[in-house]
Amino acid sequence: MLSVSVLLFLCAATGVSSFSVTTSNGNVRVKEGEGVDLTCSYSADFGTTPRLEWKFRDLKGSQTYVVYHGEPTQSYASRVTLYGGSNLRFSKVTRIDNGVYDCEVSNSNSQFGEVSVKLTVLVPPSVPVCRIPQSVTTGTTALLSCYDNDGSPPPTYKWYKNGVLMPADPSKIAAFKNATYKLNTDNGNLEFPSVSKMDDAQYYCEAVNDAGPPKRCEAVKMEVRDLNTGGIVAGVLVVLLLVALLVFALWYANKKGYLPKKSESKQKPNVVYKPPSSHGGGHDDEEDGEFKQKSSFVV
C-alpha cells in the first residue's frame, strides 16, 4: 500500500499521468509502394477493452479516420489492418499517405491519451518545371521559377548559372559578391530585382531530396538587352509624322470643298407660289366682285 502511495505521489510530482499512450517510433520513413507498421501502446489502467481510434492528418491539415471503434474504415480496409490490438499496418503506402497519424485511446471513465506518428513516404523528385525568360531588358525585374510536384519529402531547389552552382547568399562567395539576385531554395524562385548585363547567362534548376537522385530541367539562355532608345525615338517620330499627314489631309480636303461646310446663317423658310386664278382675278378681285354684287343688290 505504501509503495502505491509513493508511486502516485511521484506521478503527481513529475506531472506524469498513469494513463499513457506511447509509440516505439514517432518518425517513420518508407519508400512508396512498400509496407510499414505504425506502433501504438497504452498502459493497463485504460482497462481491457478501451476505445481505440487512429486519425490521419494530411499535409494540408485535413483529418480523416483510419480506424474507428477498433475497426479500419471503408476507405482503408483494403490495405490497413490492426495487429497486437492497437498497432497499424499498411500493406502498401503511396504519396497520399504522407502526414501525421494520431493514436487515441480512451475508456468509459473518460480517461484519454494519445500519441502521434509522422509518416514520410519517400518519392524521388521528377524533372522540375522551369520557367526562364529568354529575353529581358536591363533595369527590369526578372523571375525564374522551378517546381516539382512529385518529390517527397518536398524537394529543395538549386540554380546553376553557366553550369556553376549559385549560392543562396551571393555575398558569401567571391565570384558572386556583386550579384543582386534573391534565391529561395524552398519554393525554387530565383529573382533579379534589377537585371544587368552580368546576368546574361544560361540557367537551369535542380530538384533535390533524400529519396532518390536529383533531377534538373533543361538549360535556357536568358539574354539581357539594353533599352532600345533609338527605336523609341523612331517610333515617336513616326507617330508625329502620321499626325502631321492627317492634319494636312483634313486641311486640303476642306480647301477643295470635299468636306461639308457649316451654314453661316439660318435658312429662310420655303415660300409656296400660287399662280393667279384662271378667271383673271385673285382673292382681291373675288372680294371686289362680291362687294360689287352686294352693292348692286342694294340699288
Rg (CA), the chain: 47
Pairwise pLDDT comparison (271 vs 150), residue with the higher score? 150
Question: Which residue is associated with the grid cell 494530411?
Answer: 58
Distance CA 164, CA 219 (A): 12
Question: How many angstroms separate the CA atoms of 197 and 200, rounded?
Answer: 6
In the block, residue with C-alpha cell 522551369:
130
The whole-number average pLDDT for the span 181-187 is 96
Tens of pLDDT along 71-127?
999 999 999 999 998 999 999 999 999 999 999 999 988 889 999 999 999 999 999
* pLDDT, tens only, 24-68: 999 999 999 999 999 999 999 998 889 999 999 998 889 999 999
pTM for this prediction: 0.66
What domains does the chain contain, in order, with CATH numbers? 21-122 (2.60.40.10), 129-225 (2.60.40.10)
CA–CA dist 173, 122 (Å, integer): 33
